[in-house]
Structures are given as structure tokens and as C-alpha cells.
Amino acid sequence: MSSVTASPAAPAQGALTKGHKKVIFASSLGTVFEWYDFYLYGSLAALIGKHFFSGLNETSQFIFALLAFAAGFAVRPFGALVFGRLGDMVGRKYTFLVTIVLMGFSTFLVGVLPGYETIGIAAPIILITLRLAQGLALGGEYGGAATYVAEHAPNGKRGLYTSFIQTTATLGLFLSLLVIWACRNYLGKEAFEEWGWRIPFIVSVLLLGVSVWIRMQLHESPLFKQMKEEGKQSKAPLTESFLSKNGKIVLLALLGATAGQAVVWYTGQFYALFFLTKTLSVDPNTADLMIAIALAIATIGFVVFGWLSDKIGRKKIIMVGCLLAALTYFPVFKALTHYANPALEDAVRNSPAVVHADRSRCALQFDPVGKKTFKQSCDIITSALAKKGIPYIIQDAPAGSLARLSLGGASLDSFEGEALDKDAFKAKQEAFGKALGEALTAAGYPAKADDARMNKPMVILLLTYLVTLVAMVYGPIAAWLVELFPTRIRYTSMSLPYHIGNGWFGGFLPFIAFTIVAATGNIYSGLWYPIIVAVLTAIIGSLFLRETKDVDITQ
């Protein structure tokens, strides 16, 4: 079999050679395809909820769709352990060949899986199983690709080299949004939502073939090959990584680097998309396109900040990115509301939705099994508002009193449904919903964002800023993690904190943030989660993690 590149004996100071370019291209392109597979689900979460969780109420459908999305992230650390161990014992190349095959087939099967109405409860069970398989694959993918590229890089250029790997997650998201946008526009909204959403998943099998072919051309990492020839590879990488003094560095890398990086990444890209479509009611086509433009503009930032980290250090850039995110998220997301849906902003300011109720009789609007009906008067109002994406505040009313909604000068009484039979409750609920809709319209609340009033250039500028923050924290992170750990346990040691950070702190962000919003009625309250995590990372990373840009990883 022909080889894409010869493997140098060890990294050395020098220019970006043709062989190095091919290593970067081959590793990065395969990783782009793998991220494309993984993020298709996130981009279509609301639609997938309708097909695979249709037995639940609408709010729970979306939350469960986000939970299934998060399930793939939950198992990423386990994928890091399994494939990291293989990578440190068997080799980098063959390990991430296995991961891409597992990812590709799991994604293809999502595209052909029947929905809830066809096979019932088996549909969400199989879907979540496939998401778990994707998560395991991705858990082994990133560490392999980043380690492989870093171990080919000359000293003094690892930030630049690995930054190309860092672009792959954003490029994968960009590609998924572009394919979804093309399918939705070619097929039409109705056909796309009925069956066309499956096409992006199914065509991933073609990307799988290309990725496997590319990776089959690669040699093993030169550092791993040298280490293996000298008989120095680890016999127990899990023990050496986590049950020795190295375990302290793993923990600090998680809390002082990857946790903050992860929440900034997912807030700037995925949560921004959810916020536009779910909260601000922006047309999904328009939201996808604006996010895609922002990604296209800001992606160069990954390479710029990776290159800059070779000059001034990884730590400074990542810590500043976390602090900027914490300081600016509230004003930026409020500005998104102002420019994307000014009618909603006007309505909230002029006619705020205030629920006057006995707080002890207000339940959290989340039904894990989809069987509960919220029949208390407070629940009827808040669930109706949450379903429509309307922010609200709750003010205390006398104990046992009937809940009431005020919208500016208007007032709408709720009703108690606990004593009503199913048909009577449904009739009352429909009548209340109709009255609520009329009251919201009269108060100026829009059913969806008005495209004519939307300031798209400003929305794109704000989204570009959010992705630039992503580039600051994500561009240098691979080089920093690689340099924190020795070659013999590098794949395992760097993979676990990366995937706990991104899989748990980041992957659960949309679910946690949306649940906080649903519980509080404040559309911005979900931002407290990434802000708190980003601040904690900035503190821990600044105090306890070392700068590594001048470390010689051959030692």
C-alpha cells in the first residue's frame, strides 16, 4: 500500500514540510467527517424529538432529545479509556481507524431507524444505543488525531499544527448545517421534516469510505514507533495515567482547562443555535445559515490562536477566552434577542408575562416518562408559556389562590384541573390556550421572529464573536494537553480530561441550560451554567497549571 508521508525519526525545528501537511490533512479530514456524523443529531435535536419521543409532551420531547444528544457525550470518557489504552499499547494509527468505522456505521443506522410510531418504545432505546456507540467512538478519535499530529510536529510549532485538528469540530458542524440546509431547501420543509432529515445521516456512509481510505495511507507516529522499538511503551497505561502522581495533572487539566473550554465551545455554537430557534423562534433555515456564515468567518481563528500560542503560550489565551465569555455572555445573548427578534424584546419590556401564584403549587415543567399532566392552576399557565417559548416571572400570591397571568394591563385567570375528568380538562385547556394566544397577540408577542425586522448582519457579527471565543479556548487546547503528559501514556492521559470536560461539562450544557430556563421562566438564566464553569476554570488553570509551549515532548 502506498504511503502518504514518511515518518521523520522525531520532531525537529523546521518549516511545514509536504509530508507534515499530508499528515495534518489526512488526520483532520477524517476528524471533520467524524464530527459531522456526531453533530447531525445536535443540529436536528428538535425534529428528532418529534419522531423518536412522540409519546411525550412537547416540552419533554425536546428535553429528552437533548438528553439523547447528551448521552453520546456521557460515554465519551469511557471511549477515551478504552481507545486511549489501545492507542498507548498498540498504536495511534490503527486505533483511530477503528473509531471512525464505529462512528460511521452508527450514524448511518440512525438514518434508517424507524420512529416511535412504527416500532414504539424500541425506537428511542435503539436511538440512544446508537448515540452511545457514537460517543464511544468519538472518545477515542480526538486524542488519537491530536496526539498523532503533535508527535509529527517540530518543536515550537505544535500549537500551529494541532490547531488544524481543532478546526475539525467547527468544520464538521458547518458541514452538517450546510447539508441540512441544502436538503431542507431542495425537498421543502414538509418533506424534510417527514423523511428528508434522514438523508444527511445516510450519506455519511460515503464520508466513512473516504475517511477510511485516507487513514489507511498513514504511517504510525514517529515517537510511538521509536518508543515501541526501544521497548518503552506502557504496559498499564490506565494505572500509570490515573493511579500515580500523573492523576493529579489529569484532574487539574480537567478542571483548569477542558471544563471551561467545553462550556465556551458549546455555548458559542450549539446553545446559540438552540437559543435562536427554540427561544427566539427564528426560522431554522435562517438560523442554520447565519450560524454557518459565522463559523466560516471565525474558523481561521483556531489556526491564528494556535499559532499565537506557540509565541506567547497556551495558558494565557485559554484563560482570557474563559474570562471574556463569562463577562460578555449576558450582554451578547440579550443583543441577539434585540437584533433577531425585536418584537419579542418589545413585548417582554412593555407587557411582561407575570404569573401570580402560590409557589408551593408550581411544579417543574419536566415529565421524565411523558405520562404526567400538569393540572394545578400555576402549572397550566407556566406549561403553556414554556411551550410557546415566552419568558415569565412568578410573583407570590396568597396560599391556595387561583393562579393568574397578567400581560401589561390585561389579566387571564387559570383554572384548577385536578377534579376534572380527561375530556373536561382537555376542553378547558384548549379554551385557555386559545385565550392565552389572543392575549399574547394583543400584548405584541410574536408567534415567530419577523424576518423583515431581523438585523441579520448584527446577528452574524454576534455569532462570529461567540465563535471567536470558541477559537481562543479551543485552538491551543490540544497542544497544551499533549505537552502536559509523557509519550508512553499521552493518548490515555490527555483523552480522559478532554472527554470528561467536553462530554460531561459541555455535552450536557444544552440540556442543563434549557431545563434551567424552563424552571425559571427567564430565557437568559441558562447562561449561568457556562459562566460559573468558565470562571472556575480560569481560577484553577491560572493558579495550578503550568505553561508548556517550550516543553520538548521527545523527552
pLDDT tens profile 206-257: 878 887 887 777 666 565 566 566 555 656 667 766 777 778 888 999 999 9
Q: What Cα–Cα distance (Å) separates residue 101 from each residue in 97, 143, 222, 413?
A: 7, 16, 24, 57
The predicted model scores a pTM of 0.80
- The more confident residue out of 175 and 309 is 309
- Distance of alpha carbon 440 from its chain centroid, rounded? 32
Residue 6: predicted pLDDT: 39
Q: Write down the H helix ranges in 113-236.
A: 116-119, 122-150, 158-187, 189-194, 199-202, 204-216, 222-229
Most confident option among 144-158, 288-302, 367-381:
288-302
| Residue 554 three-state SS | coil
Mean pLDDT across 362-390 = 73
To the nearest 5 percent, what fractions of the chain are helix, strand and coil? 70, 5, 25
In sequence order, the 6+-apart residues with CB closer than 8 A to the CB of 423 are none
pLDDT digits (tens, 9 = 90+) for 1-56: 333 343 444 444 445 556 556 667 766 776 777 677 667 876 787 788 788 877 66
> Please, which pLDDT band fits residue 92 given cuts at 50, 70 and 90?
low
Which of 294-298, 331-335, 479-483, 510-514: highest mean pLDDT?
Answer: 331-335
Strands 353-357 and 410-413: unpaired
The full set of domains in the chain, from first to last, is 18-341+452-544 (1.20.1250.20), 346-442 (3.40.30)
**477: pLDDT confidence band, cut at 50, 70 and 90?**
very high
What does the alpha-carbon distance between residue 341 and residue 390 come to, in Å, rounded to a whole number?
Answer: 12
The pLDDT of residue 365 is 57
Q: What is the dihedral of CA 139, 526, 272, 61, to 10 degrees?
A: 70
List CB contacts of 505: < 8 A, sequence separation 6 or more: 258, 259, 262, 263, 533
Instruction: Check residue 496 and give its pLDDT.
Output: 83
pLDDT band for position 534 (cuts 50, 70, 90) = very high
pLDDT for the residue 307: 95
Would you tell me the crossing angle of helices 456-474 and 259-266 to the nearest 10 degrees? 160
pLDDT band at 528; cut points 50, 70, 90: very high
Q: For residues 322 and 320, what is the distance between their CA atoms, to the nearest angstrom?
A: 5
Partners of 357 in beta bridges: 396
- Counts of helices then strands in the chain (DSSP H, E): 27, 4
Number of neighbours of residue 543 by Cβ within 10 angstroms? 9
Instruction: Tell me which residue of 389, 391, 394, 366 sits closest to 377, measured CA to CA.
Output: 394
Span 129-138, average pLDDT: 85
SS3 sequence of 261-302: HHHHHHHHHHHHHHHHHHHCCCCHHHHHHHHHHHHHHHCHHH
Q: Are the C-beta atoms of residues 103 and 38 closer than 8 Å to each other?
A: yes
What is the Cα Rg of the chain in Å? Answer: 25
∠376-280-336 over CA atoms, to 5°? 135
By the 8 A CB rule, do 366 and 520 touch?
no
Nearest CA to 518 out of 274, 259, 268 is that of 274
